[in-house]
Amino acid sequence: MSWVAVALSRTLGRRPLRVMHGGTPVVLFRDGPAIRALPDRCPHRMAPLSAGKVTGGLITCPYHGWQFDGTGRCRAIPGQIGALPVVQMTALQATERDGIIFVAPPGTTAQPFTHAVSGAPPVLRLVESRTRGTVLDVAENILDATHTHYTHRGILRGLSAKRYTVRVDITGGPDWVEARYTGEDRQHGLVSALLDDDRSVSVGRFRAPGIAELEFWGKGGLKLSTTFHLRPDGPDHTGGIGILAGPRDGGLGHLKAALFLPFFRIALAQDRRILRLCAENAQPGQKPVIGPLDILRQDIALILSGQPPRAATTPRSLHMLL
């Protein structure tokens, strides 16, 4: 497993923070400029270290007060006279990028991916959300164009009932799949009116370990991208960190971001609601019907299970009305 976005930097202050990483709880804490990541389970009696305190780069367990440094080594056992036994937890790697905290297993050498906007420094806005449903359900929802007419009527679409024929090209690589939509005229929703007046191509992409990206390209280049870092968070929830990125455009980028963010939050709430309704309503074990326009779900599932998507060997194209 590589780097996983687990929290926004601003949510980690003086107190330790518990996050989920690869299905297990991890405690984050600050140690000067560094961020430390340890299993959130004291090796003594398994108390959550995140319920303890941090002082001078050491985290103190709330149960008997054992203290651990950022490498996972026990540095104090209150009441103990004489030498300390060696107690060593396996620390994880942690780092901050663009206001996001990433965690990786020890020995990970690659750098974390944050978002794909390159060139001039982009305008970034960060959001955090927690959604009922699996990473597969949430990733598919983010990348699915066909729900926007209904779930986001008026916000992303639906001021007009008119649909347009769109060509979709689906390609992939060893651990990613993307759908490229061409020929779509301007979407008739409020947000589209705000941002996308010359949009010509949009792209939805999923990449390992759990990154869903949407890109909106206009004639002058990339206009807006949203990158969601997803991870399992508890048995039936998915944690997500979203990055909205756009070109600076003089000062206009900031203005657009300020205008766009409230709509983005509304759309997120609409998605959270419908995904919760689906999850609560599903019968355990019932298989969903894969419709002809559910173009990415199976490939996302393959990537999540560590296999290459079918699109990596068999790219395909289709048309649909959006």
What is the binding site for ligand FES (CB under 6 A)? 42, 44-45, 47, 61, 63-66
Whether 16 contacts 50, CB under 8 Å? yes
Which stretch in 70-78, 127-135, 213-221, 263-271 sits in contact with Fe ion by CB under 5 A?
A: 263-271
Three-state secondary structure call for residue 217: strand
Of Fe ion, ligand FES, none, which one sits near residue 1, judging by CB under 5 to 8 A according to partner kind?
A: none
The size of the chain, in residues, is 322
Binding partner selected for residue 64 from ligand FES, Fe ion, none, CB under the kind-specific 5 to 8 Å limit: ligand FES
Query: Burial of 45 by CB count in 10 Å (0-12 exposed, 13-18 middle, 19+ buried)?
Result: exposed
Among residues 76 and 126, whose Cβ is nearest to ligand FES? Answer: 76
* Of residues 60 and 225, the one with the C-beta less far from ligand FES: 60
Measured distance CA(228)–CA(259) in Å, rounded:
20
Q: Are 152 and 269 in contact (CB under 8 A)?
A: no
Residue 66 binds: one of Fe ion, ligand FES, none (C-beta under 5 to 8 A by kind): ligand FES
Residue among 320, 275, 270, 302 nearest 176 (CA):
302
Omega before residue 209 within 30° of 0, cis:
yes
DSSP string, 258-285: HHHHHHHHHHHHHHHHHHHHHHHHSPTT
Closest CB 265 distance from Fe ion, rounded Å: 12
Minimum CB separation of residue 64 from ligand FES in Å reads: 3
CA–CA separation, 283 vs 62, rounded Å?
A: 40
Closest approach, Cβ 226 to Fe ion, in A, equals 11
Pick the closer one to Fe ion by CB: 35 or 211: 211
Strands 316-321 and 176-182 turn out to be unpaired
Smallest separation (angstroms) from Fe ion to the CB of 271: 4
7 vs 74, beta carbon nearer ligand FES = 74
In whole angstroms, the minimum distance from the beta carbon of 144 to Fe ion comes to 7
Q: Which among ligand FES, Fe ion, none contacts residue 271 (Cβ within 5 to 8 A by kind)? A: Fe ion
Q: Is 271 in the site for Fe ion (CB under 5 A)?
A: yes
- Which of 78, 288 has the CB closer to ligand FES? 78
Amino acid at 214: L
Of 30 and 149, which CB lies nearer to Fe ion in the complex structure? 149
Q: How many CB atoms lie within 10 A of CB 284?
A: 4
Q: Examine residue 69 and tell whether it contacts Fe ion (CB under 5 A).
A: no
Query: How near is the Cβ of 263 to Fe ion at its closest, in Å?
Result: 12
Q: How far is the CB of 268 from Fe ion (least distance, A)?
A: 8
Nearest distance from C-beta of residue 138 to Fe ion, angstroms: 10
CA-CA distance, 81 to 34, in Å (whole number)? 31
Q: Which does 63 bind (CB under 5 to 8 A by kind): ligand FES, Fe ion, none?
A: ligand FES
Write the CB contacts of 309 (distance below 8 Å, at least 6 apart in sequence).
172, 176, 177, 298, 299, 300, 302, 303
> Which is closer to ligand FES, CB of 61 or CB of 94?
61
Residue closer to Fe ion, measured from CB, 59 or 275: 275
Rule CB under 5 A: which residues touch Fe ion?
A: 271
